[in-house]
Structures are given as structure tokens and as C-alpha cells.
Structure 1
Amino acid sequence: MSQAQVRLPPPAPQIPRDAWKDCAYNGETIGCIDAQLAEGFRVAWKDGLRMTYTRLTRRNPTEPQHYRDRLGGIWSEEIFQQGNKELTNVSTGNRIFIPLRFPCKPPLKGEVGYCHH
């Protein structure tokens, strides 16, 4: 068999470390699970807290999207090029960072890539 005909098996897919993303609240990393809803999204934090954010109507499409939490706080959303998002409370300046992807288990030797959930 010539070198051109050698077929290597496909690499094993990367798998998530667990079901929690490495989110952050005011710069402190904490696990979270986010879920998209028809009118916004929900975040469940590893410490047991949960919050639902309802999308507000934009007056101008060039302005950032805003959300209202169930306590009445207003949050401005910034989506980064990689798909990660950061929410900033417009009154308090508190920040929530939610990554697009799950952290992966360490890859096996010779494997690279994103994990699949």
C-alpha cells in the first residue's frame, strides 16, 4: 500500500468536561448553564442561583440589545466575535460573562479541536 492510500481513523471527538460553562460574575469564574428562551434566556449558576432575562424592544438596531431580569434590573448585551457574550447591568455596573462553548476535557495525545455537546 502506498503512502497516498494510508487512511488514518478519524480523531475521537472532544467531549465537554461537564455540563457547566466557565462563566464569570464580576470577573469571578463560576459554572453556569444558559438556555435560550423565546423571549430571552435563563442562567442557572452552579451555586444554585437562577435568573431569567427578558429581551427588551430596541429603539435603534445599532444600539446594544437590552434585557430585564426578574428583579427589574436592566442589562446591556455585548456579543464578541467568538460568540461569547457579556452582560452589564446599566445601574450597578455588574458584569456577567457567558462563553459560547463548553470547556473540554483535556484532549488525548495528538488530538485538538473544540468539544461537542
Structure 2
Amino acid sequence: FDYPRKPQDRIIFLGALSLFLARQASYGEADMNAAIAGWLGSFDATTTLDHVTLRRYLVDIGYLRRDEAGLRYSIDTAALASDFEAPVLALDVHATVANARAEREARKLARRQNGDMS
């Protein structure tokens, strides 16, 4: 997949990544890079995106802030709140993704058991 072209889709995409990252109060640069790379790797698709570019986009849009020394990163929940309503911000992204994967695997298993190999 590629970076979304439409501005509103970009906000949603970066918001989803920010909600994923929001579980931790702050990150060093290496940890932030690893977390973003892990998020990207969780998709069952190849992408042209990289963690450095996404980190830059998060900073540019205001969802990710750096400390004055540029050593620590944290999600700016106020910036997210200005673009997303409270129910969206309350989503447990990790649980939502895990549930979606479990449901997909259950459907695959059911198809196999019913003889549908597609």
C-alpha cells in the first residue's frame, strides 16, 4: 500500500498510527522507529512507506512531538482530539486489530473445513 493521496485519508491513516503509538508515554528515537516499523509490518501487504518518513509526517501534522533536545517523542493527544471525536480516541487499536485478525483466520478455517479453498 502507499501513503493516502487524499488529505482526509492521510489524517485517518496517521491518526490510526498515533493511536497505536499512544500506548506508551514517550519513546526514544530507536524505540519510535521500531514501533512504527512494527506497525507497518503488521499489515499483510507490501508498502512503499518507511518508518522515517512516517515519523516525519506525524511530526509535521502535529500528532507527534519531540522534546527540545530532539531525543524523546510522544503523541500529542490534544492534536489528535482536535481531529477525532472521543469515541475514536477511546478505541483500543491493538485489540481491534487482534480481533479482526482472529475473525479473518476463523473465516479462512471455516472455508477450508467446508472445502472452499479460495
Q: Give the alignment's TM-score, normalised by structure 2.
A: 0.27
Structure with more helix by fraction: 2
Structure 1 length-normalised TM: 0.27
Greater C-alpha Rg:
1
Greater strand proportion? 1
